[in-house]
């Protein structure tokens, strides 16, 4: 599918470097009126993927996200691309991500085991229940599933005859999947 990847982390832009693009012009340059929209689209090695890097680091990235130019870009990309992915800064650190989620059809939160803070997930849950996000999806990344197998924990057996309890009914396995994933007691 014809896909566009937009680097919206304008505080620490990395897409230009990751895709080995010139990256001299990008999202921040367009939103601040320094260039035309056509100048920020870069082809990638994949013929179906186009990239918009973050551009130069502006003094006011959150304000740029709320401009009419951002609305213009979103409307244009919806017509021209089948899939548009906004690569955002980590949620909770800056308000930019919330602004983009309001414009997104399906915001996806990428959660990484042993990296994502549980408090961040609590904040997302509160925002979701408050109606700030609709159609929120969560992608669990880098999960070590062997830690949650029936009767095992960290590679040790806890099944019948092992002397360590009774498998699934052990207190360790009664905890919710969220608490087990994020080592919360």
List the structure tokens of 155: 């590679």
> DSSP state, 91?
B
Instruction: Write the pLDDT tens digit of every residue in 64-83.
Output: 888 899 999 999 999 999 99
**Per-residue pLDDT reduced to its tens digit, 95-117:** 666 667 667 777 788 888 888 88
With beta carbons less than 8 A apart as the criterion, state whether 169 and 175 touch.
no
Q: Pairing mode, if any, of strands 108-112 and 137-141?
A: parallel
| Nearest residue to 31 (alpha-carbon basis) of 64, 72, 71 | 64
Q: Other CB atoms closer than 10 Å to residue 40's CB: what's the count?
A: 23
- Mean of the per-residue pLDDT values of the chain: 78
Closest among 129, 141, 125, 132 to 100, alpha carbons compared: 132
Residue pLDDT, tens place only, 118-133 = 887 887 788 788 887 7
Question: Between the CA atoms of 84, 86, 87 and 92, what dihedral angle is there, to the nearest 10 degrees?
Answer: -150
């Amino acid at each position: 599918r014809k896909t566009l990847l937009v680097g919206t982390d304008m505080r620490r832009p990395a897409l230009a470097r990751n895709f080995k693009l010139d990256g001299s012009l990008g999202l921040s340059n367009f939103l601040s009126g320094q260039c035309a929209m056509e100048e920020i689209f870069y082809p990638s090695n994949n013929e179906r993927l186009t990239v918009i890097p973050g551009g130069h680091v502006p003094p006011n990235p959150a304000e740029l996200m709320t401009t009419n130019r951002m609305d213009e870009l979103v409307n244009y990309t919806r017509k021209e691309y089948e899939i548009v992915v906004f690569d955002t800064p980590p949620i909770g650190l800056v308000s930019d991500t919330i602004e983009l989620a309001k414009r997104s059809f399906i915001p996806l939160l990428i959660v990484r085991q042993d990296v994502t803070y549980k408090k961040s997930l609590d904040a997302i849950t509160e925002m979701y229940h408050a109606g700030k996000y609709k159609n929120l999806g969560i992608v669990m990344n880098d999960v070590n599933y062997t830690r949650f197998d029936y009767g095992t924990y960290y590679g040790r057996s806890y099944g019948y005859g092992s002397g360590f309890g009774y498998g699934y009914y052990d207190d360790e396995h009664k905890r919710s999947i969220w608490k087990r994933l994020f080592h919360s007691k």
